[in-house]
Amino acid sequence: MIKLSHISKSFGRNQVLKSIDLTVNKGEVVVILGPSGSGKTTLLRCLNYLEKPSGGEIAIGDFKLNCKQATKKEIHTLRQKSAMVFQQYNLFRHKTALENVMEGLVIVKKLPREEARERSAALLEKVGLADKLDAYPSQLSGGQQQRVGIARALALEPEVILFDEPTSALDPELVGEVLEVIRKIANEGITMIVVTHEISFAQDVANHAVFMDGGIIVEEGPPAELIYHPREERTRQFLKRIT
């Protein structure tokens, strides 16, 4: 359903992604593991064109985009098909939780405000924030802010949600509540690509695990196999460090 072919990205002379190929089936949860600096975030950002890939092709369903010659319209279409949940939440500080979720529905989806309000309230309820609709980000914990970020991504009804280390900015006691919400929406069959260091989450929730290092996919496979029986030395070394 999602197919990345030969995705590369350089920052100046630093080639950060080296011809990445990855296929993600509909409804699958794919986790991307790997050391810091291996290109995980850049790959997610390329997928949603927050970074312009230097080359390659992105296909989501029937939609295909050649990264070297993408038009504005194609980039807009790509962004409607994929939504990002950021490490630092990236909420609008001067808007309430409800307004943060409504924004995309009103601006991107052009829904009437009343309908956008109802849909957003329902999504905030789904992520356990029914009593926080009118709270501003500064009045919410990190875990609550990230759950608003997840509701905002869901509101756009994308074909895939991209999670960029969604729990890495959180205090340890808040990690569980966010992973629980991600787990719940994964169970609803939403396609996800999750960059994370949470190994037990990867094992429990993901259908497929990818290990990246130095801008390439070193190995990939079923999570338990990759975690407990890695084939490559680089994967073994990494897992030893983080578990």
Q: How far is the CB of 54 from ligand ADP (least distance, A)?
A: 12
State the minimum distance, in angstroms, from the CB of residue 166 to ligand ADP.
13
Q: Is position 138 an interface residue for ligand ADP (rule: CB under 6 A)?
A: no
Which residue in the set 41, 48, 82, 145 belongs to the binding site for ligand ADP (CB under 6 A)?
41
Q: Which distant-in-sequence residues (6+ apart) come within 8 Å of 110 by Cβ?
A: none
How far, CA to CA in Å, does 95 sit from each of 84, 91, 92, 99, 121?
19, 8, 6, 6, 14
The residue among 41 and 145 lying less far from ligand ADP, judged by its C-beta, is: 41
8-state DSSP, 129 = -
- Give the binding range for ligand ADP (CB under 6 A) out of 39-47, 115-123, 182-190, 221-229: 39-47
- State residue 235 phi and psi, 5-degree precision: -65, -45
Instruction: Sort strands 208-213 and 216-221 into parallel, antiparallel or unpaired.
Output: antiparallel
Q: Is 189 in the site for ligand ADP (CB under 6 A)?
A: no
The site map against ligand ADP for 18-37 (x = CB under 6 A) is ----------------x-xx
Q: How many residues does the chain have?
A: 243
Q: What are 184's strand-pairing partners?
A: none
User: Residues touching ligand ADP: how many (CB under 6 A)?
Assistant: 11
3-state secondary structure of 211: strand
Measured distance between the N- and C-terminal CA atoms of the chain, rounded to whole angstroms = 32
Residue 166 in the binding site for ligand ADP (CB under 6 A): no
Tokens linked to 14: 């630093």
Contact present, 242 and 165 (Cβ < 8 Å) = no
For ligand ADP, which is the closer residue by CB, 71 or 168? 168
Residues 108-127 that bind ligand ADP (CB under 6 A): none
According to CB under 6 A, which residues from 191 to 220 bind ligand ADP? Answer: none
The reply on whether position 40 binds ligand ADP by CB under 6 A is yes
**241 scored as a contact of ligand ADP (CB under 6 A):** no
Binding site for ligand ADP (CB under 6 A): 11, 14, 16, 34, 36-42
